[in-house]
A and B are shown apart, each in its own frame.
Chain A
Amino acid sequence: MTTPLVAMHDVNIRFNTTRGWGYAVTAVSADVRANTVTAIIGESGSGKSVLGAAVMGLLPNNAEASGSITYAGLELLGLTDREWDQIRGIELGWVAQNPASSLNPVYRIDELISEAAIHRRRIRRRDKRRFAADLLTKVGLPAATGRNYSFELSGGMAQRALIAVGIGLDPPLLILDEPTKGLDPANYDRIRDAIMDLAGEGHTIMLITHDVTLAEQVADEIWVLYGSRLVEQAPKQDFFATPLHPYSQGLLAAMPSRGLHPIPGESPSFFVPPEGCPFVDRCPYAVAACHELKTPSHPTEGRSVLCLLH
């Protein structure tokens, strides 16, 4: 077992809102191994994007995080802004949601791609087109795209351009937030291929997605978040062969290729602090003790599940 690149221990994140505390991430402990693709899947509001933002130090001001997240041994929670500046973008790459609005409309794509490198890597300004062209080629875009503005690109092209911006400083860890959201099948395939290429080059990738199919295609490791808790963590083959948590089973059964069976009931409220298993109200196997379940069990090596059944 290699040492983890990112190690989370008992991570809790809550938001101070006008409606009271909102619980986004509860008691998450898990590791991301170097040179792997970890897919963090879950529905909207499950806490997966917040978890990604926490690793990037991009939580909003009203968020309160506790526990521990380390990157290559460095504790990330509690870093000062100045300390963040030294690792964000350089060690940790971030590809935000909504590519079209994440690219400044007044600059050409090659300008945006090379901007960080010009300022932090001594790339010369006159080399910016070549620099951008290399990265664009890497994500499967024609080099000429660098001369376009973001609003001239389709959604899929903008997403790939944004990935090119994200890998501009060649960060070892890359966090992709919903990279295939709203894409047609052709663009979807290209993004998937780009992710696999990046993984092949040795980037460690945390892929935040609600797309189970994408996770199945590119990931080595699957984390399932539900109602702010990590309900299951497993190597991909194990997960898709035998999902252990009832929510995971429901999630897979809800996939179009597996019959599109919906899970009855509703997701737990953001404002109720999760005690025990968050799936208890919808779970066909629920027992009283589920309400008290705090810690996951480890049925096999490298696998954890938050369920009394295992």
Chain B
Amino acid sequence: MSRDSALRIAAGMLIAVAAMSLLAPVIAPASPIAVDMSLRNAPPSSAHWLGTDTLGRDVASRVIYGGRGALAISFGATLISMVIGIALGSLAGWFGKFTDTAIQVFMSIFQGLPGLTISIAIVGVMGASNLSISVAMVATGWSGISRVVRSQIRNLRNEQFVEAAKVYLPAPGYLIVRHLLPLTMPTLVVLATQRMGRMILMIASLSFIGVGLQPPTPDWGVMIQDGRQYFAQQPWALLGPAVMLFIASFSVARLGELLRDRWDTFSDDAMAVR
């Protein structure tokens, strides 16, 4: 398969998942939270494509709705992480010296945090909510981005066209935003997609262990946890959300990798960022 068609497939999958989540109220055949105790653990049928769960809720509808929370939070948290990462990385890379050291120390602290563990701690302290999950995602997400931005700015700031621009327009903020960051765009796009793919999985992990999105919110992580206990009797209740989770995180991350290969601007160093 050529790289271009792989890229198209990954992008298509992502668009499909995003469209499904956005249009969930239109597409879903039933309410994702309506309980029907007379129709518990029903197998797939024409009325319930993926059957029902132990509370008689329509699994297909829950799967369709199940990505909304995770996708919205991971998208927003990625944007915020990018803003923080780009700002601090640019400052550190441009000014060097004390600014760099100070920011690097700060960055290293966050870099050293074990991602999932610290997320659990943050959500535990703040209480499970969309806000606390977002905070946890940003706290574990920005430092890797800022490290890559810093190294790119450090390399680019010595380019001759930057020296030339400095003669006429010496404001550092202007030079960074206008002359340096545009050249890091390919890297930033790849970083953002990979970061978002990872966040989708992390949010599902949090939900799975019960500290993320809370029932009865339809969420893939929550659904996988719920479906786990009755897997033998009704595998559809687990497989439905699991497959969607896989498609969502895979397509985002794969898109990033394919874009990286296509633009070929990434170093191994940048790829090591977790």
Residue positions of A touching B, CB distance < 8 A: 56, 58, 81, 84-85, 88-89, 94, 96-98, 101-106, 115-116, 119-120, 162, 165, 168-169
Contact = CB atoms under 8 A, between A and B. Distances in A.
Nearest to A85: B170
A89 B168 contact: yes
Given A104-B179, A106-B182, A106-B183, A115 B161 contact: no
A98 B160 contact: yes
B197 to A, nearest CB: 27
State the majority secondary structure of interface residues on B. helix
Contacts of B162: 104
Contacts of A103: 161, 164
Contacts of A58: 163, 167
B105 interface: no
A119 B171 CA distance: 11
A119 B175 CA distance: 13
A88 B163 contact: no
Interface of B: 159-165, 167-170, 174, 179, 182-183
Contacts of B164: 94, 96, 102-103, 162, 165
Contacts of B170: 81, 84-85, 88
A101 B159 contact: yes
Q: Which 3 A-B pairs rank lowest in CB-CB distance, beginning with the nearest? A: A116-B168, A89-B168, A102-B164
Contacts of A89: 167-169
A224 to B, nearest CB: 27
A94 B167 contact: yes
A14 B140 CA distance: 47
Contacts of B163: 58, 96, 102
Given A102-B160, A104-B161, A106-B183, A88 B169 contact: no
B160 A101 contact: yes
A162 B169 CA distance: 15
A56 B167 contact: yes
A97 B163 CA distance: 11
A88 B167 contact: yes
A13 B168 CA distance: 24
Contacts of B183: 104-106
Contacts of B165: 104, 115
A169 B167 CA distance: 11
A77 B46 CA distance: 85
A146 to B, nearest CB: 17
Nearest to B174: A119
A168 B169 CA distance: 12
A115 B167 contact: no
A154 B20 CA distance: 50
A120 B174 CA distance: 13
A40 to B, nearest CB: 19
B181 to A, nearest CB: 10
Nearest to B179: A104
A248 B170 CA distance: 39
Given A104-B179, A106-B182, A106-B183, A116 B169 contact: yes
A89 B165 CA distance: 10
A102 B167 CA distance: 11
A96 B159 CA distance: 12
A165 B160 CA distance: 14
Contacts of A165: 164, 168
Given A106-B182, A106-B183, A168 B161 contact: no
Given A85-B170, A105-B161, A169-B168, 12 more contacts: A58-B163, A94-B167, A102-B160, A102-B163, A103-B164, A104-B183, A106-B183, A115-B169, A116-B169, A120-B169, A162-B164, A165-B168
B85 to A, nearest CB: 21
B209 to A, nearest CB: 45
Contacts of A102: 160-161, 163-164
B186 to A, nearest CB: 11
6 contacts: A89-B168, A102-B160, A102-B163, A103-B161, A104-B179, A165-B168
Given A104-B179, A106-B182, A96 B160 contact: yes
A115 B182 contact: no
